[in-house]
Amino acid sequence: MRVYFPQSIIMIAAIHNMLLSNNLNIEFLTTQLAITQNFFDMKTTVLFSLLLMGLFGLGAAYPQQNASKDKQMLRKMYDFHLGNDQSYENLRYLSTQIGGRLSGSPQAAAAVEWARQTLEQLNLDTVYLQPVMVPYWVRGTAEEARIVSGFYGTQAVNVCALGGSIATPAWGLSAQVIEIKHLADLDKLDKKAVQGKIVFLNQPMDDLEHDTFDAYSHCSGNRYKGAPAAARLGAVAFVIRSLTTAIDEFPHTGGMAYEEGTTRIPAVAIATRDAELLSGILSQDPALRLYLRTSCQNLPDALSYNVIGELRGSQKPEEIVMVGGHLDAWDNGQGAHDDGAGVVQSIDVMRCFKALNLRPKHTLRCVLFMNEENGARGAREYARLARERNEKHQLALESDRGAFVPRGFSLDHTDSLLLPKRVARLNSWSPLFEPYQVHLFKSGFSGVDVNFLKDNGDMLSGYIPDSQRYFDYHHTANDTFDKINRRELSLGSATMAALAYLVDEHGW
């Protein structure tokens, strides 16, 4: 029998000393946990893991002398945003007067100019445009689909082309349909069973997932990979069930991609109500045909811009606390939740600092990215220039999950040993957020745009509002300004401003 008691004594003594000196070292504890997996039995490892989890919060103790000042400052911020916030009226204009603003479009150009002028009105230290070449895809005017069945007649259904798709022939196309529940099901089919047909991927988002973003992530890759996978087996078109838990008549667009050397076929999303209808009729009439007609096209890349505003840091101007969202939005709606909300919230963080006469220690930067939806060219260019200039982001915070009631933040970083310490630090601020019912502080994905800064070694964060209704509107004609709640939008602005203030004031 092997005895591990001496190793246990060494570790417990080390933890005890760190607690006495108020210098709990998370990296040391993580290393010791790895040691337990090599030398201890499973029961001992689990017990030691629980011990470490219980101590993480103590290791990031929040100095009480800061609490009173910070509590007052957060109250000022929330009062400011609830009483003087401009984000709602800014979003009204962006959504209803400019509307859908897919990269390369005249609406996207109008959004860039609106954002530049709006930031300039805040009297920041600097406002500038960062040029970037972006894809220019146009939906066109024709989008129609019909189920044609010998038993059930002809029924129109709601579809929309996926971003980047080619069009059908001008007269449309008609073919039999083969239904699959998972994209991997194509691997089980013979090419003869698919050739000349339309592949219909009828995979619902999982209603049992509490976080709808988790349910979305399990399906969203199919939208990118579906058309090439179907084309390799000779399909003439690809139809995907819209990515939402709702059953309605609104088809959800989104980006897709083709593969070099694979035939390009039209790709559309079908509304969930009509996906149910198509599946039901198909079960009774396998010979039915689906007629599709779209007129989308890919035009040459266009010049566009990220829009950036800054308040220069008073102590560490070379280090950046960033807030941001993406200016572009799908053309079939107004882009109110996705991501007009994140844009106006980020602008109002800057407005809050100016109104409260807060001079940041680090440079506070607002970045409004272009082309998140179908290429992320703006984010790639921003990250490239940040590397070139050796810029260090103390925080890169993105709002791209809609304008619903605030829940918290996620953190992400390349260093798996450093990340738990940063999450613990974030959790140490939870009493400051408690009056505003903000409570979720965890590691996890931050956002598409800021994620390109991850390889730079920057600390990334995603603002997390409640997710339950987001995919009722995401990428649809239903994403309109009337779906925005003013108070929830303003509370999100305040919550983002609060985190930016705490990181700027205290660091990690």
Taking the C-alpha atoms of residue 379 and residue 210, their distance in angstroms, rounded to an integer, is: 29
Taking CA atoms, 105 is separated from 298, 307, 487, in Å, by 12, 16, 31
Of the residues 372, 373, 381, 398, which is catalytic?
372
Burial classification of residue 141, based on how many CB atoms lie within 10 Å of its CB (0-12 exposed, 13-18 middle, 19 or more buried): exposed
249 is catalytic: no
Cα of 433 vs its chain's centroid, Å: 22
What is the β-pairing status of strands 173-180 and 159-161? unpaired
Peptide bond into 449 cis (omega under 30): no
CA dihedral 306→307→311→315, nearest 10 degrees, is 10
Whether 101 and 107 have beta carbons less than 8 Å apart is answered as yes
CB-CB neighbours of 202 under 10 Å: 18
For residue 73, the surrounding DSSP H or E stretch is helix 64-84
User: Counting Cβ atoms within 10 Å, is residue 174 exposed (0-12), middle (13-18) or buried (19+)?
Assistant: middle
Place of tokens 């004609």: 477
Helix axes 341-355, 486-506, angle to 10 degrees: 60
Host H or E run for residue 130: strand 126-138
Radius of gyration from C-alpha coordinates of the chain: 25
The C-alpha angle 242, 149, 267, rounded to 5 degrees, equals 30
Query: How big is the chain, counted in residues?
Result: 508
Q: Return the closest-CA partner of residue 172 out of 181, 183, 159, 187.
A: 159
Among 352, 473, 428, which Cα is nearest to 59's? 428
Place of tokens 């450093």: 418
Contact between 266 and 173 under an 8 Å Cβ cutoff? The reply is yes
Torsion of CA 275, 280, 282, 283, to 10 degrees: 140
Helix (H) or strand (E) holding 178: strand 173-180
Contact status, residue 186 vs residue 229, Cβ threshold 8 Å: yes
| Strand pairing report for 440-443 and 392-398 | unpaired
Written as six digits, the tokens of 45 are 């490892």
Active site residues: 372
